[in-house]
Structure 1
Amino acid sequence: MERSAPRTRRRTIPPASPHRAGHYSGLHPEDQPYQSAMLAVQRPPARSSNPGAVVQQEKEEPEITPAPGLPRDLPEASSLPTLRRSTTPAGDNKEAHGLRAHQRYLPAAAPLKKEVIFRGKPLLQQRYVPTLFTISCLIFLVASGLLAYAFINKKPAPNSQVVTAIPDQLRVDDTFVLAGKGFGINDPLTFTYDQNSNPILDGNGRPLRAHADDIGTFSVQIIVPANWSVGQHTIHAIDSGKDQTVSVSAIITVEQSSLAPPQLQLSTSKLDFGTSVPGVVSKKDFILINAGGRQLTWQASSDQPWLTVSPNTGTFSGRGITQVVVNAGTLAPQAYSGHITFIQRGSSDRPLILTVTMTVKSAPPAALTITPVSLTYSGTTSQNPADQAVTLQNTGGRPLDWSSSIVTGDGAPWLSINPSSGHLAAHTSQTIKVSVQSQQLAIGSYQGTINFKGGTNPAVTVALSVAAPGNLIASPPSLSFASVGQNPAAQTITLQNSGGGPLDWTVTAATVDGANWLNATPASGHLEINQSAAVAININAAALKPQSYQGTLTFTYGGGLTKQVPVS
């Protein structure tokens, strides 16, 4: 029996699936998750130069394109059939068709895409929020500090600074008070006038300077010099603080003087201080007017112990200023009325009356009262005036502690008290000493205030006038008498005050032989500025023997200064 060659079973390539590669048959691609297999990629056989020969395709290792997520039970690449291709006519395309179908079934290998992951710096990501929060806190603290510094050290805006001149209508040689508020605390102040910024001079011919006080206020007195023309003048107060320089102005009017006789007038005949309580001291500026010409000298007096005027005398050409002061002190709660009488020296006109009213209400349990409430000093550049006393009294039923502070209009420390604080039991009193130093000041007028804390916080106003020292001139400088058996005729010595302030004088006579034959009448007197007085000198020669005699007249003034006139 002839055995035939065993029939080789050939594996066939399944028909092409209508689905895309990577999907199982029988399921719609949208219903089946994408699946892919490890596919063997086979290359077509190389063409032979012998068309009749059967070309055996070389067996190559398949190129495997992995796909993620595929099942691991893939067929080995060696189990794939070896394709044979004969040189059949072009019309017989079964093998070719099968190969093409198989090639279409095999997808092209897609290149692997690298997954790019952007990773930040872990440390920065972890600290980003805390860092931002810390920076915000620092910015907030810095801003808060700057705002606090700006508000605490804020200097007043120019619009908040005010300067007033009282009175604002004057003549040459008149004095006005320049007062300001809203300035920098303890800032130095200078003063100029008009557009050329000419400095205003003090009584010594130096530029006027002052300091603001602890609440930013100041007050200085300025004399209108002879070189200021008639018309308006602008007065500048310049705050030269460490942070800024501010200039604030006030306007005054200089009027033409008149040759008419001087005539005193009051700016008003009534002045009301409103309601007060015991222990409170109140004050108001009051303006006097010269309705005539030249200069006038005035003097004032009060008819009530609680009502005073400071200063109580003065000289001016156009307008003058003084302060009316009321002291509620120990007054009972009720309405009060008082009068200040103004007279013009050297005039026969009737006195002028200013009526002052005030109402006092009930006081608190402890009340500090002061007597007097105003002090007036007159000094020179070479001699300080004598000290004065102020009495403090606790009129309440409880003890109190008191303290004091001093404010001067120009900021200079010319005013002092001793002691400056203390304790008062109920219904007790204490006396303090008030001193002024005129030697360190320029010629002029000065104002100060002593503020007391305790009870109703009263105050004492202080007025100081500084003048050049008085100078006494005696003429003739010597006297000579001759007598034969009788007393010679009396002779006269004329005394004149040529200094800048008033003076008191006394005269004493001394002889070489010690006899009392030389006499002067009057023996003392008072001289205002540029005022003169006559002193009669008499010789009693009746008891004298015929011979020559010598004596000396000694005039003493100004706290110890002397002038001597020899007599023979």
Structure 2
Amino acid sequence: MSKCRHCGRACPDHAVYCEECLSAWSSPEESSAHSALTQAESAFITMPDITGEITLPEIDPFAPDPEYATHFSAEETVPPVSPVTDTSSHMVDNLSDAARQLQATERKEPRLRRSSRLSPFKEISVDVERESTPHPSVGQAAQNEATQPAGVGTLANTASPEKAAARRDILENSLPLPDFWPWLPEHENEENEDDKWADAGDPLLARQLDPAAAQRIEQEDVLRAIAEGHIPSFPMPKLVTPLLQNKQRLRLFFICAAALILLSLAFDSLLVSFSFLGSHNNNQGSGGIPTLTLSNPTASYGESITLSIRHFRPHAMLYLTHDIGEPIRINIDRTLVAVGDDGSVDIKVNIDTSWEPGFHLVQAEDINTRYIASTTLHVTEGPTRPSHFLLDTKQLDMGGAYQGANTLQPLTLHNSGSGNISWTVSSDQSWLQVTPTQGAFSSQQTLLVGIQRADLKPGSYTGTLTFASNVGEPQTARVTMEVRALPPYPGAVLQVTPVVLNYSTVDGNGGSSPQALMITNPGTKPLYWTISGNQPVDNGQNAYLRELDPHFNWLKTRQDTGIVAPHDTSNVPLDIDSSKLLAGTYLNTLSFSASDGHTAINSPQSVAVALTVKPQCTVTASTPAMSFVTVAGLNHPSDQTLFLKSGTNCPGTIGWHASSPNNWISIMPNSGTVNNTTGATVAIGVNPHNLNAGHYTGLVSVVAGNSSLSMSVDLSVQAPPTPTAPILSASPLSLNFSTTQGKGIPAGQAVTLTNTGHSPLSWRTNINNLAYSWLGTSPTGSTIAPGQTGQVIINIDPSNLSPGTYVGQVVINGSDNANHAAPGSPQTIMVTLTVAPPCTLAQPSQSALAFNAIQGGSTPTAQTITLSASGNCSWPLTWNASVSGNASWLALSANKGTFTASNATAMLNVSPSIAGLDPGVYRAQVNIDATESTNTSAQSSPQSFTVTLTVQPPCSLQVAPDSLSFTGSQNQTIASQNISLQTTGTCVRPVSWTASIDSGSSGWLSTGGNGSDTGSGSTLAVTTSPGSLPPGTYRGTITLSASGSGGSNVVGSPVQIPVTLTITGYKLSGSAVACADSQCATPAPLPNATITLSTSSGVIATTTADSSGNFSFSNIPIGSYTLAVSGANAQNVQYTGSMAVTINSDTSGMTVQAPPPATTP
């Protein structure tokens, strides 16, 4: 069952009105009341049934007068009516909007307002299909022409159901339709059935106004209708139910809840913004974020541009640079500028030939807060020249010097093209060092090459420096030098190592980890040293420092003087103060010399110290500027795409926010996050709707971290064209190409050209001078019919380009048949080409490592190799290290690792072990290979470096002879003998030695004492003093002990040398004779006589004379003796005799007389 639209009673499903209402309208006298019934009925809207009683609230002053309400009597009960909702207001507002659209498209003159618009309407959009909806004019005509069929009268209760239904249908079809489109004219010319909706707005699709606006329009129309006299001002009851009141309360509750939710979201967004962007209120002056803009984003040689700096801190000091640290000099002496009280200043800059053609990044940095504002300048002087890496020399002769001496020479790197160059350097010799070892520059950069002769043997040496860059093949420089031997007993010798030091920090950080220099004295006398100089190497960065504070020095020493004993070492710690330093590379030289009143070999000595201050984290944009061309009154041009990316020094993901002071510039989205691998795409559009014809320049600023980047937006709004003119538009207006060097030519990209005018459009392309060598189009021109589109393919050829970012412009010029410039012309397509270096495994920081050790000594200190990779890699890049050959003595701190981003580094510690190794030279090769995540080997992979370990024999003491033997007569001087001492192997000279004698021999054995060996050997004199020692053999021991300088061990020490002393007595010889009488006038030999030699203590020696009576004694000690003889002659007569003898030397010719025995009387 459905309900009657008039009274609300139940009626058949297919009926609109109930039988009672149809019966009332069926009589001719009641048909005149139908229009009033229609008006009254239209004041209500059919609603769903509700339960409960209907309450009648206060009278609405806008309700119609009772005499217009209905034809019912006062006694009749008002039929149930569903509560009024916002549907009517929403519908009226939507239909009013549709009416305005129809008025704008169908009539030139304004339509008269009609009071019939005041009638509310039933929402019928859900019931009506678009294809079957009658045109308003057709419906109105049918209404005007409808007549009541003959024979139709009051419905009888006795009629059959079939006849009643048929009669009902006839009555319903005969009733006039409601005026659903009251704003249309009363009579319209009927259109073709197929075209009736061609130019008319669909009212069912235009109902989009909110209820509040609909209610306001409804009230205005009621008041206007009353004022015009269409309806009297009588009250109409306003029906409100408790349910409606509850709905209003719920609506209020939901509105409050939504407001709270929006407030919390806004607060969260604010917190996120602060967390991403940080609070930079201390950087900002009044009026907004600090910005740097140019009076003209393009310039040529000889022209001047004005740098407009705004919203910095009042009186802030700014440092102006372009590209990578190239100072912008305001005049000859000034590189710093001060802003005014309002945080702004205008600086005039002349563009000379030092500015290469192309795009240049211009920066202004607050030297206190380190806030950086940047923008881009386009120098339009010929094509952009690719970067080209050059060395100012490829041969360095460092000369000759004593062992331990250092030598420094500068080497300058140049860029003969435009753009930026990043580089690294490696050395194949440990004595050949460079500082800094890597960097980036746009014009030139100076570095220092150092030679370290410490611990080198005399001779000539050659080394090679290899420079790798992102713009070409590696380049080498050959370095030669000579080492001279120290003189013997040199006195104090000054040796400072290492010859170079490298520090690194980030702009805005306080400093870097301290390092130390080692001062060694390999001489023989104490070294008194002092620091005689701490001077910067002249470059652009130091010019800025001189202007900022001429007394500031970023290199600090904790000790300026000292004393080093012979063969001893002292450390000198160094500190860095980068508080006043901006991004760039700083070089200082420290000079050491002997203190006043003292001398030293190798005085003075210098070392180089480099400090690299890396730039702050900033954001970069793919397009330095944007240009739009449009025609007034037409649709706005297509958006341009801006690709944002964080710099290489950003720690990770950073937040960014983009804004524009120009309301005709749109940015979508205007905030987000980026990192140096994943960027953000931003659409920049313009809306020229309220702009007159003319030229407009705007600005887009992107804030990220502690920096802002400003890009100019150029908009040309052309005057409306003639009706027959062609109109040029293009989409897209910006293209981005990226490729990897050596990986071929990427596919072209299409730009769609549209002619929205009414005559043929001829177009042609033109490429600016910056990019004609690598940028092209196909075709270069054509013609587009009215209302049609064309296409041009933008092609690039990076074959001859080095890695870097290149920006070019394709200008599309359109013209009409008379060759006049077409409206919308020219259209500029900004083309950005990024040529990434190939994924390359860089050379190790050193191509050769050398270790020295002494057999049995301590293990050498590990050395560090720095590995890195760069280029367009499929990250992560996995590296593996392996040792070739049988080198069990070599150990690596890691065998594998990963690089996660370009220019990331990995440290590899290399440690040798000398355990079990004999003296000799050991060599090994370490291979490094790298593989992308796609299992593709990186270019220049594998790399390798060699490791040499020299195990030297220990310092040993060699002595000759290994024993001594002395022989001599008693109380006679014995000649001394020498012991030769030689120290061989790796000795810390001079080697000192001492000689000691065992206590049992100290009475007769002595040595020359102590001595030293400087490498040429030494001798030890050994003497004996037999003195009164009796003849015999004596043995003793000499102990030799040696030690190297500083107490180093000497193998073979101590050594014992045995000494043998043989003491001999004197000789005594003579003859024994027999005497005939006491006078022994006629002596005769006494053959075979027994000869005895005795002292008071007894006989010490006995001998027998020969046949001639001769005898001899040997080895007779000094002393007094009795020499006795006893023997018989041939007649067997016994003879005896004696004599006293004193022996103090060899005695010979002694005659011992033996008288005959006395005769018995």
Q: Give the TM bin, normalised by the shorter chain.
A: 0.3 to 0.5
Structure with the higher fraction of residues in helix conformation: 2
TM-score normalised to structure 2 length: 0.21
TM-score normalised to structure 1 length: 0.41
Give the number of the structure with larger relative contact order, counting CA–CA contacts within 8 Å between residues 6 or more apart. Answer: 1
